[in-house]
Structure 1
Amino acid sequence: MNGISVAEYAARRERVLEGLGGAAGVVFAGEGGPPLLGRWTANKHFIYLTGITNEPGAAVLFDPTSPDPSKRITLLLRSRDPEREHWDGYRDPLNHALKEKTGFTSIARSGGIAGALTSAARRGRRFACLHPYSVYPGAVSPDLAAFRQVTERVPGVAIEDKTQLLIEMRSIKSEAELALMQKAVDATVDGYKAALAAIQPGVSERVVAEALESAFRKHGGEHAYNPIVGGGMNATVLHYMDNDQVLKEGELVLIDAGASFAGYAADVTRTYPVSGRFTDEQQYLYNLVLESELAGIAASRAGAAMWEVDRAARAVFEKAGMPDCYTYGVGHGLGLDVHDALPDGVLKPGMVITIEPGLYLADKALGIRIEDDILITDGDPINLTAAIPK
């Protein structure tokens, strides 16, 4: 399964079952049909637990009080529809081969989830939320919404908070996950080589973006997110993605792009002079950002909180008298999501984070950001993307 063994997925599910402490829980894949552009993909918690990306309507049910030990973790899949499969692709029947393929000892159809949740509530009297909570006025998280409906019909059932459980598990990368992230990094390294070769005055930002994508695909990867290739004023727009202007001599071009491999992402930003050489002012400002990034990387150690890492990077700009040109946090978690959630607390060995300070001066049509992907260890942090020139 994409470089992660069936045994590793099964071990993850067993950890969740244990972490629930006797409460029942469910992780939904989500709903949706194949889009006309791109691909539908499942909720990342569901992918982390199963390796399955293409089953809308699926779920994993954790029922610790089931009298049958083999049914305490169940994969629920939507019923087969021959006419729909003719359009969207053929699906496996529920048989022994599917159990071996997925590592589940119990597989059933998702139409039975309401009854299964009701039985779990009647027996155990406890539910636990695993999906991250929504922020109002957004829709309630799918497991909480389901639990509320059950508790209206089964009195005396408690709903507990276990939303940090999967976030904590996902934040610590296994050897298999780090190997996939390294492949994403390798593709990203070659993407930036191709981008550097394409940068020159008179070239469209689009040409540079296409050079990145072509190199990613040669390595079996794809864009992990919409790439940013912004020259001049466009580099001051944090989420610029038009990529349709012509690069001009004397400008800087900011590139924020990373490859994804088997679902795991890299996330890198570099800023280069379009004509190949910085002006004195550009060099001074670039070195400030570089100094800030290196300070943030140095502070990225096990036991440190992200706010402490942010403070270390921000102190460089404050000392230079430019505290207001850097307007966001220093970085974020990285993994199955480009902006992978980090659990509450401090950094731990096995986490991968980004460090990405920047300066944005609209009055000078100048934006500079430098970003690398950092593995937290028991000792010094490891820069996974150090091979990309900066």
Structure 2
Amino acid sequence: MISNCELRNANCELSSVKRPKFAIRISHFATRLACAFLIAASLAISAAAAADLPTDLQQRRARFMENLGSESMLILWSAPMRVYSNDVDYEYRQDSNFYYLTAIDQPESILVLMPGNRTRKEILFVKPRDPVREHWEGQRLSPEKAVHESGISTVYLTTEFEPFLNAVLSGRPYGSGSSEQDFAPFFTALRNNKAQIAVVGPPPGASGQLPESYVFVNKLRERFSGLQMRDVTRIFRDLRLIKTDYERSLLEESARISSEAHVAGMKAARPGAYEYEVEAAIEYTFKKNGADWGYPSIVASGPNATILHYQKSSRRMENGDLLLVDAGSAYKYMTVDITRTYPINGKFTEAQKDIYDVVLRAQEEGIKAAKMGARLSDVHQRTVEVIKDGLFKLGLITDTSGNQYQTWYTHNACHWIGIDVHDVGDRNRPLADGMAFTIEPGIYIRPEILNSLPKTAENEAFARKIQPAFEKYKNIGVRIEDSFLITGGTLKRLSASVPRTTEEIEALMRSR
């Protein structure tokens, strides 16, 4: 919001050039053979990626435990079910941190990590099987299946979680065949009043409401001695910022699917159609590729394009409208973010092109600034400089030294992407290998903005001076957004296959 996979798109059609029948038969055979080879290769790649997940999960947990330390116990809960209406729930979506360490996609599960243990450093608790509930809700993971899915070898039922805590927090070992030596570092920390219960907050500050995880630890501290609370939000933030090789492969596939979906949306847009028809074409493409939306799709035509998170998708598109589409697929819990803005009749007007070209130049300059060692703020600032200059030349601001540009450019140009579309991570970290982020400048000429400015002499003078340009460009909203990954020390635009320049867009729209 705010990939080319040649195997999938291999062209297996015969040339239209006339040839002898025998040659055509050979060509058909060779073509079928080539297609079969490409399909087999694609399946092999998918199987290899699946095989990499257990190893990747083990490495993620190992890195987390290195940061956690031997005197700590992490307790991490799965996300709860959320009610949509009455007795109907939303489709389940796992807590991002829980999924990052387990790949378990079901509720009522708990992860415990104890880095200091000699054995059983990783313990997963899953809900007991229940034939009645499974009849209504679907099959739950058995402990054996949970071992296979997560790579965690010690799996208990959630009915054992409280007995586990009662034993371990009282300094007694838990589990068949375990001894005090298996828990020695944590038990020593308990006796020395240094044992830490690690949870995810985020920290609520001095007056904010306590997260449920904090409340839980406070109750433990009332019942067991030697405990301290530790918030490990920062560890997740730092680890998730650097994508593993496995995660990078999923991001690339999410980008491939999302790019295909954007092209499908462009082909569905036309005067007289409704925004939801474009949204349907996009999300159908997600579904047919085994993905889902990573965030509610934004399909905003005409004046709706000036609303950053417009979600109704209900307007009938008119000839001469621009359509702003911000949509990205979630593929195996990895999400990219792509935005394109294009004329539904296939041809930019002069005014639309004026705004579009400024935004495109800003993104191009932002891409140049996104070098190893730079920060997201450096990238954003470069887009600001370009947009200031462009708005001034168009007559939409009168001064490039101040913040007038924020009237029309109202958001930051960059955010991290990953398990969450606005993924966690320190924005001040220098760009490094494995980081994934967006560059998304935008200009939004909202018709009501001048009337909403504070009534000062300065603002009134500003509004008078830019009135002619405002009338020319009002109701135009343009955002251009691509997803990027730093890999091998270079910047890769994951969404490069989606038409982006005015020439590319108009060419695709003519081919519909």
Give me the TM-score of the superposition, normalised by structure 2.
0.70
Partner of 1:280: 350
Does 2:225 correspond to 1:155?
Answer: yes
Aligned mate of 2:379, from 279, 291, 309: 309
* Equivalent residue number for residue 371 of structure 1: 481
Give the corresponding residue for 1:16.
64
Please identify the structure whose Cα radius of gyration is greater: 2
The residue that corresponds to 1:51 in the other structure is: 103
Range with bigger deviation, 177-186 or 293-302: 293-302
| Shift in alpha-carbon separation, 1:120–1:244, aligned structure 2, 3 A | same
- Per the alignment, do residues 208 and 92 of structure 1 end up closer, same or farther by CA in structure 2, a change over 3 Å counting? closer
State yes or no: 1:60 paired with 2:129.
no
- Give the alignment partner of residue 127 of structure 2, picking from 54, 78, 84: 78
- Residue 158 of structure 2 is aligned to residue 110 of structure 1: yes
Residues 129 and 144 of structure 1 are in contact (CA less than 8 Å); yes or no, is this contact kept in structure 2? no
- What are the superposed Cα offsets for residues 114-150 of structure 1, whole Å, 9 maximum, x if unpaired? 4544524852333254524055776533433322221
Q: Contact 1:271–1:370 at 8 Å: present in 2 too?
A: yes
**Aligned match of 2:335 in 262, 265, 268?**
265
Residues 379 and 161 (structure 1), Cα distance of their counterparts in 2 relative to 1, 3 Å cut: same
Q: Is the 8 A contact 1:24 1:120 kept in 2?
A: no
Q: Which residue number corresponds to residue 318 of structure 1?
A: 388
2:200 to 119, 122, 131: 131
SS at structure 1 position matched to 2:259? helix
1:234 to 284, 300, 304: 304
Q: Distance in 1 between matches of 2:165 and 2:369?
A: 45
Is the CA contact (8 Å cut-off) linking 1:297 and 1:374 kept in structure 2? no
Q: Of 202, 207, 214, which aligns to 2:277?
A: 207
Aligned amino acid, residue 336 of structure 1: I
Q: What is the count of residue pairs matched by the alignment?
A: 386
121-130 or 288-297: bigger deviation: 121-130
Identity of aligned residues (%): 29
Indicate how the Cα distance of structure 1 residues 101 and 185 shifts in structure 2: closer, same or farther if over 3 A, else same: closer
The answer as to 2:347 corresponding to 1:295 is: no
Q: Counterpart of 1:310 in structure 2: which amino acid?
A: H
Mapped partners of 1:387, 1:194: distance in 2: 12
Rounded to whole Å, the distance in 2 between the matches of 1:369 and 1:48 is 31
The answer as to whether partners of 1:34 and 1:40 remain within 8 angstroms in 2 is: no
Describe the superposition over 1:234-293 as per-residue Cα deviations: whole angstroms up to 9, x where unpaired: 001111011111111222110111122122112100000122222222111111111111
1:382 aligns with 2:462: no
Q: Which amino acid aligns with 1:327?
A: T
Contact 1:63 1:120 in 2 (8 A): no
How far off its partner does 1:382 sit?
1.2
Partner of 1:353: 437
Query: Secondary structure in 2 aligned to 1:341?
Result: coil
Structure 2: how far apart are the matches of 1:248 and 1:138?
Answer: 47
- CA displacement at 1:45 relative to structure 2: 0.8
Q: 1:100 to 1:269 in 2, by over 3 A?
A: closer
Give the equivalent residue in structure 1 for 2:22: none
Deviation at residue 61 of structure 1 after TM alignment: 0.4
Aligned equivalent of 2:249: 179
d(CA) in 2 for partners of 1:234 and 1:9?
Answer: 42
Contact persistence 2:69–2:116 (CA under 8 A): no
Q: 1:384 to 1:312 in 2, by over 3 A?
A: same
* CA contact 1:121–1:157 (8 Å) conserved in 2: no
**Aligned counterpart in structure 2 of residue 335 of structure 1, from 395, 406, 418:** 418
| 1:242-253 equivalences in 2 (<5 Å) | 242-253=312-323
Maintained 8 Å contact 1:117/1:150: no
Instruction: Find the partner of 1:143 among 198, 213, 216.
Output: 213
Following TM superposition, by how much is the alpha carbon of 1:60 offset from its aligned partner in structure 2, in angstroms?
Answer: 0.9
SS in 2 for 1:5: helix
Verify the 8 A CA contact 2:169 2:224 in the aligned structure 1.
Answer: no
Local SS of the residue matching 1:376: strand
Q: 1:94 aligns to what?
A: 143
Which residue number corresponds to residue 400 of structure 2?
Answer: none
- By percentage of residues, which structure has more helix? 2
User: Which amino acid is the alignment partner of residue 30 of structure 1?
Assistant: A
CA contact (8 A) 2:81 2:90 kept: no
Unaligned runs of 5+ in 2: 1-46, 172-186, 398-404, 448-473, 501-512
Amino acid at match of 2:346: G
| CA shift for structure 1 position 100 | 4.0
Deviations 1:97-123 (A, max 9, x none): 643443112111223334544524852
| Distance of 1:98 and 1:283 partners within structure 2 | 54
Structure 1: how far apart are the matches of 2:295 and 2:83?
19
> CA contact under 8 A between 2:201 and 2:213: conserved in structure 1?
no
Aligned 8 A contact 1:28 1:142 in 2: no
Do the aligned partners of residues 254 and 98 (structure 1) sit closer, same or farther apart at CA in structure 2, a change above 3 Å counting? closer
Counterpart CA distance in 1 for 2:343 and 2:350 is 12
SS at match of 1:260: strand
Secondary structure at the counterpart of residue 314 of structure 1: helix
Provide the rounded CA distance (Å) in 2 between the counterparts of 1:271 and 1:121: 61
| TM-score where L is the length of structure 1 | 0.91
What residue is the counterpart of 1:362 in the other structure? 446
Q: Match for 1:329: what amino acid?
A: N
